[in-house]
Chain A
Amino acid sequence: MTLPMAGTSAAQPTRTKKPDAATAEQWRHWLRQMFLIRRFEEKAGEAYSLGKIGGFCHLYIGQEAVGVGTMAALRDDDYITASYREHGQALARGFSARTIMAELFGKAPGCSGGKGGSMHLFDVSKGFLGGHGIVGGHIPLTTGMAFAIKYRNTDQVAVCFFGEAAVNNGAFHEALNMAALWKLPAIYICENNRYGMGTALERASAIYDISERACSYDMANEVVDGQELLAVKSAVERAVRRAREEKAPTLLEVRTYRFMGHSMSDPIHGHYRTREEVEDQRKRDPITLWSQKLIADGVLDEPGARAIDKSAMDEVEDAYRFADEAPDPAPEALWTDVYAPVEESR
């Protein structure tokens, strides 16, 4: 059974007035970020197959516009948390491909010192606070960050990425209730890619429209086409304004699709979804949609698009080499970072 997705019709790119040079540059930058994520994830998949990456490895392929569109609407001092499918959001936030690939390889220069791995990417300087591996567990953390923002009376926002499977879990409801009750500047971004591992949304949730969950908490909400970068960006911008100016939270249900299996251990299709469904969804590849728009708007041509892709591939190749050659953490690293260094207290 195929249920409707937001905007699944094969829409032609909408032409807009030709943007000014700065906007055009920005648009090409977002295209490059999406290409970077795509090529990074493909390379991560390859490295996983070669045994260079261990553990679990969840790829973001198909969801690139969500991460890039969201980050485009945020400020450098905002806080972000994500689930374990977070390579893409971290890249979109400006982590270097090198530090993420090195982390995936478990190497010392990785963004978490090689001690976090694929599921625990952190960079405090970018406000990116994990990478969390328990479904729904980081949603209350984000509410806590939003609480801290209100406590300190700044105009930051706290953003949380999670999948649609997390919304049936108590942590989600408890966190959203408090955010609405206390009027906290939080933005909950549910990336609805339709499957919690192999369980389709309609087999796990009593209601189909996840955005409606917000109604229980009198919280602003929207359904967003996650394959359209500008749709994501403008929805997040509305939520950001609500958070910064009204100190009110928002739940965004961003409908997207995971083109790969749940993790590298899983098939792309099989018992839970058909090859036809995946192929049908691939027609709305967010990168294709965005590059078509840029070409239609006259800010890019086909060779230009290929050149952007090529530069993304080069960066990924460089990251791969860097990670491969980087040293393992020192043996003493096993014992550090369990507790704060003694002199740090007080």
Chain B
Amino acid sequence: MPTLTYRDALNQALREEMTRDDRVFLMGEEVGVYQGAYKVSRGLLEEFGPMRVVDTPITELGFAGVGVGAAMVGLRPIVEFMTWNFALLAVDQLVNSAAKMRYMSGGQVGVPAVFRGPGGAALQLAAQHSQAFESWYAHIPGLKVVMPATPADAKGLLKSAIRDDDPVIFIEGEMLYNVKGEVPEGEHLIPIGRADVKREGGDVTLICHSKTVTVALKAAEQLAGDGVHAEVVDLRTIRPLDTETVLASVGKTHRCVVVEEGWSFAGVGAQVVDVIQRDAFDELDAPVIRVTGADVPMPYNKQLEKAAKADPAKVIAAVNRVLYRG
């Protein structure tokens, strides 16, 4: 199996789906001539031409709306946001247009569009460029929210998102673009709505998604050295949430830590904990603990930024608490 970066896995998914279906096109800032702000769309303009790889002005509300409108009449747009921070300008189109169209038209008009780009913090980009918004979109019925953590998942989930008949919020990780991994060639589809056990273990469940999968895996590695076997459950899709896999793991380990990059208040982890306390209450040997980003705007200073982020040490401390270890 070939080894690819997360970036190239996404590129391969785009290329394959654009080849497969001529209704699929890509639009966004710098996707064409510049080859993509993060080079995810490298080579696509040359291969598919300017009608299918469309450079837009910096006008997020406008081009998100163009994508929704094109999807309403049968095209399958992939709208790239340079980052999800900038997509705040387009929230009206995502929430009021994309998510609502099928329902308020009584099922007549769907919006088969993918909105994608990197979310969360990178390194020292400060408050306005370091935000994890998945819980905002996951709150909205009508949207699906997908967040792959590995190159193989990135390819398989992006292909599924493009073929999906509903609007999909596809949040990539800026810090993941250079991560390498084995990626199946050709028709590799991962269904939306399925979590994946990234590491098996019987002592504690670590639930995570996107960049925090790496954090959880590192923590699990260290814990193993200490004789604690953590199971790492990568949600992959935030909405619809794979509660079955979450509950199965908690039923096995009886202890759980939920790790996410975003802020704690009304975060994704709050939803996960709600499911666990309701449907696995009798399975729990300890309260579920959450590890999240600090509840502050992201600081620029390197040390402060590090302190604000979820990291393996914080996960290990949380595991120790649910295991009632010193």
* Docked-complex contact B109 and A148, CB < 8 angstroms: no
The interface residues of chain A lying within 8 Å CB-to-CB of B74 are 148
Residue B72 CB within 8 A of the other chain: yes
A53, chain B: closest CB distance, angstroms: 16
Cβ-defined contact, B63 with A122, below 8 A: no
User: Is B142 a contact of A338 with CB atoms below 8 Å?
Assistant: yes
Q: Which of B38-46, B89-97, B224-232 contacts A (4 or more CB under 8 A)?
A: B89-97
Please state if A144 and B51 are interface contacts (CB–CB under 8 Å): no
In the bound assembly, the distance between CA atoms of A176 and B140 in angstroms comes to: 29
Q: Does A148 lie within 8 Å of B97, measured CB to CB?
A: no
> Is there an interface contact between A340 and B104, defined as CB atoms closer than 8 Å?
no
In the assembled complex, how far is the CB of residue A165 from the closest CB belonging to chain B, in whole angstroms? Answer: 16
Give chain A residues whose Cβ lies under 8 Å from the Cβ of B77. Answer: 144
Q: How distant is A323 from chain B, measured CB to nearest CB, in Å?
A: 15
Using a CB-CB cutoff of 8 Å, which residues 154-189 of chain A contact chain B? 158, 170-171, 174-175, 177-178, 181
Q: Are A147 and B105 in contact (CB under 8 A)?
A: no
Question: B65 and A130: CB pair below 8 A?
Answer: no
Q: Flag whether B102 is at the interface (Cβ < 8 A).
A: yes
Contacts of A170 in B (CB 8 A): 61-62
Interface check A132, CB cutoff 8 A: yes
Assess the B73–A148 pair: CB atoms within 8 A. Answer: yes
CA gap between A262 and B56 in the complex, in Å: 36
Q: Tell whether A297 is near chain B: CB-to-CB under 8 Å.
A: no
Stretch with Cβ within 8 A of A (4 or more), from B158-166, B174-182, B261-269: B158-166
**CB-contact partner of A139 in B56, B59, B65, B106, under 8 A:** B65
Contact A148 B69 (CB under 8 A): yes
Tell me which of B59, B70, B75, B109 contacts A174 (CB under 8 A): B59
Tell me if B186 counts as interface (CB < 8 A to partner A): no
B59 touches which of A113, A131, A141, A177 (Cβ 8 Å): A177
Q: Are A116 and B105 in contact (CB under 8 A)?
A: yes
Given A115-B106, A338-B141; A137-B96 close (CB under 8 Å)? yes
Q: Do B165 and A145 have beta carbons less than 8 Å apart?
A: no
Q: Are B106 and A140 in contact (CB under 8 A)?
A: no
Cβ of A110 under 8 Å from chain B: yes
Q: Kindly state whether residue A272 has any CB partner on chain B within 8 Å.
A: no
A111 to chain B, nearest CB (A): 7
Contact partners of A151 in chain B: CB under 8 A? 25, 51, 70, 75
User: A81–B61 Cα gap in the complex (Å)?
Assistant: 18
Q: A115 to B68, alpha carbons, bound, how many Å?
A: 20
| Mask of A115-147 contacts with B, CB within 8 angstroms, 1/0 | 110001011100001111110011111111111
User: Which of A174, A177, A340 is close to B110, meaning CB atoms less than 8 Å apart?
Assistant: A340
A140-B73 in contact (CB<8A): no
Pick from A122, A132, A174: contact of B97, CB under 8 Å: A132
In the assembled complex, how far is the CB of residue B57 from the closest CB belonging to chain A, in whole angstroms? Answer: 7
CB distance from A337 to the nearest CB of B (A): 4
Given contacts A177-B57, A339-B142, contact A140 B62 (CB under 8 A): yes
Select A114's contact among B51, B64, B106, beta carbons within 8 Å. Answer: B106
Q: CB of A344 within 8 A of chain B?
A: yes
Please judge, given known A-B contacts A177-B57, A339-B166, whether A144 and B103 are in contact too, CB under 8 Å. no
Interface membership of chain B positions 243-274, coded 1 if the CB is closer than 8 angstroms to chain A and 0 otherwise: 00000000000000000000000000000000
Residues from chain A with a CB closer than 8 A to the CB of B114 are none
Q: How far is the CB of B11 from chain A (nearest CB, A)?
A: 22
Q: Does A346 contact B (CB under 8 A)?
A: yes
Q: Is B107 engaged at the interface, CB distance under 8 Å to the other chain?
A: yes
Counting CB contacts under 8 A, is A79 at the interface?
yes
Q: Is B303 located at the chain interface by the 8 A CB criterion?
A: no
**Contact count band on B:** 35 or more
CA distance A81 to B69 in the complex (A): 10
Nearest A-chain residue to B144, judged by Cβ:
A339
Q: List B contacts of A112 (CB < 8 A).
A: 104-106, 108
A94 to B243, CA, bound (A): 47
Contact B104 A115 (CB under 8 A): yes
Given A137-B96, A177-B57, A178-B57, A144 and B67 contact (CB-CB distance below 8 Å)? yes
In the assembled complex, B316 has its CB within 8 A of some CB on chain A: no
Closest to B65 in A: A140
A144 touches B109 (CB 8 A): no
Does B66 belong to the interface (CB within 8 Å)? yes
- Decide: B69 and A141 in contact? CB cutoff 8 A: yes
Q: How far is the CA of A254 from the CA of B108 in the complex (A)?
A: 30
Given A132-B97, A141-B65, residue A344 in contact with residue B165 (CB < 8 A): yes
The reply to whether the CB of A9 lies closer than 8 angstroms to some CB of chain B is no
Question: Cβ of A216 < 8 Å from any Cβ of B?
Answer: no
Residues of B within 8 A of A130 (CB): 101, 104-105, 109
CB neighbours of A344 from chain B (8 A): 165
| Contact (Cβ within 8 A) B69 A147 | yes
Chain B residue with the shortest CB-CB distance to A115: B106
Chain B residues contacting A122 (CB-CB under 8 Å) are 104-106, 108-109
Q: Provided the pairs A174-B62, A340-B166, A346-B163 are in contact, do residues A144 and B72 lie with their beta carbons within 8 angstroms?
A: yes
Inter-subunit contact B165/A345 (CB<8 Å): yes
CB distance from A248 to the nearest CB of B (A): 17
Interface centre among B69, B70, B74 (most CB of A within 10 A): B69
Residue A2, interface by CB 8 Å: no
A137 touches B92 (CB 8 A): yes
Distance (whole angstroms) from the CB of A172 to the closest CB of chain B: 9
A14 at the interface (CB under 8 A from B): no
Interface pairs (19), CB distance under 8 Å: A79-B73, A113-B107, A122-B109, A124-B109, A130-B109, A133-B96, A137-B93, A140-B68, A141-B66, A143-B66, A147-B66, A175-B66, A177-B57, A337-B102, A337-B103, A337-B107, A340-B102, A345-B163, A345-B164
Give 8 new A-B contacts, CB below 8 A, not counting A112-B108, A123-B108: A116-B106, A122-B108, A140-B65, A143-B69, A150-B51, A158-B69, A170-B62, A178-B66
